[in-house]
Structure 1
Amino acid sequence: MLRFNVAVHARPRSLHLGPIVAVQGLRLQTLSVSPMVLGEPMGASFEAAQSYLNKLPRMYFEPDGSFVWVGETGDVAPWQVDGVAYDRNGRLHSVEMRGQCPERNFDTLLSGFGWPGTDLIFQLADEALFVDEGEFRRFVTIV
């Protein structure tokens, strides 16, 4: 199960490693990302992401980009993800999500945003840090 509060962005062409930071007992390799380079589009249009997400069972996607996806009643642990997808110039720009879900469901969400064809970076909202996908998954995995 993953628990997260994150903004997802396409990996900019220009970024650098930031400092290693201790957060909740983990040492995370951060990324130094200028706000000026966060405009890279994700690997899907807003409409393609909306169409993909609308096909998921128990997903509710609003035309303004807000969405909620809940687990089935019989799942081992209850889960829910709330989010907002943002577009710019016809392309998906970024996605803010919070909640918890099994990793396979998280991967399903990311697929709707163009992953794995598009490399992503993750902005940990509560910690105000950027990390790559590997560090993100290590940080948000609940054992």
Structure 2
Amino acid sequence: MRKLLASLLLFAGSVQAADALQIDVYRDPNCGCCKAWISHMTDNGFVVYDHVRSDMPALKHQLGIPAELASCHTGVMDGRYIEGHVPAKDVKRLAEMPEAAGLAVPGMPIGSPGMEMGSRQDPYSVVVIGKDGDRAEFSRYP
């Protein structure tokens, strides 16, 4: 946990311009907010490969995503997962954290990317999960 938290502090704000990042996004065919999150990612410079699947729980289990951190869609980038409505700027920071297994925004908080509904903004946290299973708050909104 200390190593994970130390890397958060070390790399906070250190996102550097680079070539477009590529991400595979897996989603249920009936989910509209997943398409909105994909648009958020492409608007922020990501190249998104959209994969429609009907077996999302099996995929999440295969990737090792803790059930309590699950959301509707799952991204995979460089062998690490992005679970749910994680803002693109946080996904870009993940590239600087080799000890992280992934990021997650549990559930579907209103106001998160892809879940914009008027002016409502529910508070939510992005959780970083270490390869050792440790968890820490990565960022908090608003």
The answer to whether the superposition gives a TM-score over 0.5 is: no
Length-normalised TM-score, structure 2:
0.30
Whose strand fraction is larger, Structure 1's or Structure 2's? 1
Length-normalised TM-score, structure 1:
0.30
Structure whose alpha-carbon radius of gyration is higher: 1
